[in-house]
């Protein structure tokens, strides 16, 4: 999780230094900002939902 000088974002998969943690998973600032701006009718909205499901799947595994 901490290799390459940052945390791996569960949305984009890139290692970044700035972002937020939800439970134990990291979301970079760029992905967080894009999720907030994405309308529920946008096709990418469902991608974000699927990525966020990883938080609960890993927590309950």
Q: How confident is the model at residue 58 (pLDDT cuts 50, 70, 90)?
A: low
Q: Could you report the per-residue pLDDT of 2-55, keeping only the tens digit for each?
A: 446 899 999 999 999 999 999 889 999 999 999 999 999 999 999 999 999 988
Q: Could you report the per-residue pLDDT of 17-30, keeping only the tens digit for each?
A: 999 999 889 999 99
pTM over 0.75: yes
Domain residue spans of the chain: 7-56
Burial zone of 28 (CB within 10 Å; 0-12 exposed, 13-18 middle, 19+ buried): buried
State the DSSP H helix or E strand holding residue 22, giving kind and residue range, or none if neither.
Answer: strand 19-22
Residue 61 has pLDDT above 70, yes or no: no
């Amino acid at each position: 999780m901490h290799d390459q000088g940052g945390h791996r974002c569960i949305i984009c998969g890139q290692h970044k230094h700035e972002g937020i943690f939800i439970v134990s998973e990291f979301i970079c600032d760029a992905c967080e900002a894009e999720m907030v701006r994405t309308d529920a009718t946008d096709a990418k909205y469902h991608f974000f939902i699927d990525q966020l499901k990883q938080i609960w799947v890993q927590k309950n595994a």
